[in-house]
Chain A
Amino acid sequence: MEHTATYLGLIPLMPLIGAVVIGLMHMFTCTGRKIPEMVYSVLAVAGPVVSTLLALKTFFHLRAMPEEGRFLTQKVFTWFKVGELDVAMGFLADPLSVLMIVFVTFIGTLIHFYSIGYMAGDENYGKFFAYLNLFLGAMLILVLGDGPVVMFVGWEGVGLCSYLLISFYATDRDNVLAGNKAFIVNRIGDLGFVLGMSLLFWAIGSGGFDYLALRGNAADLAPGMGLAICLLLFVGATGKSAQIPLYVWLPDAMAGPTPVSALIHAATMVTAGVYMVARFSFLYAHAPLAGTVVAWVGILTALLAAVFGMFQKDIKKVLAYSTVSQLGYMFAGVGVAAYSAGIFHVFTHAFFKALLFLGAGSVICALHHQQDIWKMGGLKAKMPTTYWTMLIGCLALAGCPLLAGFFSKDEILYMALANGHTGVWLVGVIVAAMTAYYTFRMFFLVFHGAPRDQEAFSHAQESPKVMTIPLIILAVGAVFAGYLNLPAIFGGDQQVTHWLASSLVERHPHGSVGMEIFAIGASILAFGVGIYVAYKKFWLGAEEPEYTGFAKFAYNLFYVDQFYHAVLVRPYKAIGSTIQAVLEPYVTDGHVKISTILYQLLGRTFKVFQVGYVRIYALYMVIGLSLMSLFLSQTLN
């Protein structure tokens, strides 16, 4: 079977070319005459569209192959070779990465189209699309890379784009600080990733440092070493995918334009950590303790973020915390060794979360950048398309039976129960109820009841087609994506799980039907309770309450940011300034300074010989020559 493909490299290359072209065009015209937005729009969507087609081609190519040995590789060039470390710029398409690239390119393309409408009239229209294309290219490198090193290139690339796009409205200082925060917090995670990668190379890297070789050699790993590698890699994942303790950057990342929040900070980039854990399932499968840590960190993040989400008043913050919470579910899934369930939740979540963000963007646009849900209300009448698509998105997020989010979340919870992680399952069900509550709290406040701000309400109108059509497409995805992995109990055959089987190292527990029905029942009950409470409190319209006690504490995010600032940032800054004031000038630079002083002294001493008169120099020559001849006559004899 032929396992090489020549077009894999083109998939990330297309958006990257777009980024360079658009970036240069914007750079050379940003001070003078502007290029029409139409030109940028066409160039911006060209790359993603071609990538989507190539991703589909890869998918069909793989599907035509026999199930065992279903993968394609392309080695573009040898990147570097140091001792045993031989790293190629290579790409690997196997069921896991193909699933990822298909939805990344698809959702990425839709969001590019949406952005044409959302960003219309912006001063830096070209710059925005250059960054967006660059992001898509980096994300595809991350997913398609054939080894940890190539993955890291994409990993850093998406981090950079995230930083650039969060601080896109750079005239506002808060946005710039939010960008810095995201970048720095991610750096902490990246350190873990690099350490994990180095340890992995040190342990089993000599037999080749791409996934296929590593997977073959994973059995040689000592248990303690495997655990250390898994935990370090997970530190990287907590940074990128916003888990405890590094989740703090994601809510602030909402400072960026809304399509960015949808694409980068909800649908694709933040799921990179989950993808990475699933990609290294052959390591995690041998380190059950690491899996347990991942599962608990995930589910506790889900709980914490859900608590925060219940008390936020910025529509994008609510969605941001729901993203953190759903990411927690995904980690719970991969942590309990249900990798396919975790990845499937990544897949369905991408649809409904992108939908929710784009819907929120549509609302924000209509209300002239009003983001406070306590100042909205009654928008159902004004924005029917946004209303219905948002309703589907909210139902999917809340886990309404028969929609996408229900199947994937339920699969994770059932797998947690079946694999014996009862505690994880219990917390997961509680979080499911909270999810339903805060989702519909937001939904009712925005679309139902009486308008709270009559002035803004009267100007609101439905968004243009270029924005609503992506919403409709995503809504279709949010309804039907779940059916791709229908479990046997609903008469399905779990296509996604079977598709992913050859990429993952996964045990399939044989839970009883009773247990499955029990898990599903609990999920539906949680959904019902959550939505009922939200209905009771917010259906008829409520006024903004005074936050007191626990609500105030949760609204202020348990003061985690302030805590980090006091415990980590301030001491760190103090150490930095101490080093700058004491260590650097007097210790590390000391010997440099002393040597310059000594050389000065030496120069001053020997200056006396430079008298400037030609005849004295002639005298020196005579002396020198005499000494030389004397020396030679002595040695030659």
Chain B
Amino acid sequence: MIADYLILSIVLFCIGLLGVISRRNVFTVFMSIELMLNAANLAFVAFARLHESMDGHVLAMMVMAVAAAEAALALAVVILLHKHKSKLDTNVFSLLKG
């Protein structure tokens, strides 16, 4: 029973991870991160149900709140990036190259 939820969670997380690593569009990367967060949420809720404790729910709610805040900030950053280079390709932003 729990295994099904966890498999779904892992699959979602891996999709998100692959998205972050392989995609170049900033928005896609951003959506992939959200996917990973929600995969984690799913695991929390599943375990909370299994252990019949509220701890998991609390953490899930908190992750959502953090994700919302992060989304607000990230979108602002994306707008600034776009203003700066007129592009949303992550490969354009490579100032840290050694």
Contact = CB atoms under 8 A, between A and B. Distances in A.
Contacts of B98: 606-612
Contacts of A611: 94, 97-98
A609 B96 CA distance: 11
Interface of A: 606-615, 618-619, 622
Contacts of B91: 613
B90 A610 contact: no
The interface residues of chain A, by DSSP majority, are classed as helix
A614 B97 contact: no
B36 to A, nearest CB: 11
Contacts of B90: 613-615
A613 to B, nearest CB: 6
Contact of B20 (A607, A610, A612, A615): A615
A622 B97 contact: no
Contacts of A618: 20-21
A615 B21 contact: yes
Contacts of A607: 98
Contacts of B20: 615, 618
Interface of B: 17, 20-24, 29, 90-91, 93-98
Contacts of A622: 17, 21
Contacts of B94: 611-613
A609 B17 CA distance: 20
A610 B96 contact: yes
A512 to B, nearest CB: 97
B15 to A, nearest CB: 14
Nearest to A616: B21
A622 B94 CA distance: 20
Given A622-B17, A622-B21, A615 B95 contact: no
A619 B97 contact: no
Q: Which of B23, B24, B93, B98 gathers the greatest number of chain A CB atoms within 10 Å? A: B98
Given A607-B98, A611-B94, A613-B90, 18 more contacts: A606-B98, A608-B98, A609-B98, A610-B97, A612-B94, A612-B95, A612-B96, A612-B98, A613-B91, A613-B94, A614-B90, A614-B93, A615-B21, A615-B22, A618-B21, A619-B21, A622-B17, A622-B21
Contacts of B24: 615
Contacts of A610: 96-98
Contacts of A606: 98
16 contacts: A606-B98, A610-B98, A611-B94, A611-B98, A612-B94, A612-B95, A612-B96, A612-B97, A613-B94, A615-B20, A615-B23, A615-B90, A618-B20, A618-B21, A622-B17, A622-B21
Nearest to A622: B17
A615 B92 CA distance: 12
What are the 9 A-B residue pairs with the smallest beta carbon separation, nearest first?
A: A612-B97, A610-B98, A612-B94, A607-B98, A612-B96, A618-B20, A614-B90, A615-B21, A619-B21
A612 B24 CA distance: 13
A611 B96 CA distance: 7
Nearest to A618: B20
Contacts of B96: 610, 612
A403 to B, nearest CB: 88
A612 B6 CA distance: 34
B6 to A, nearest CB: 16
B43 to A, nearest CB: 15
A433 B53 CA distance: 116
Contacts of B97: 610-612
A615 B29 contact: yes
B70 to A, nearest CB: 15
A610 B94 CA distance: 10
Contacts of A615: 20-24, 29, 90
Contacts of A612: 94-98
Nearest to A609: B98
A194 B24 CA distance: 74
Contacts of B21: 615, 618-619, 622
A443 to B, nearest CB: 85
Contacts of B23: 615
Contacts of B93: 614
A609 B98 CA distance: 8
Contacts of A609: 98
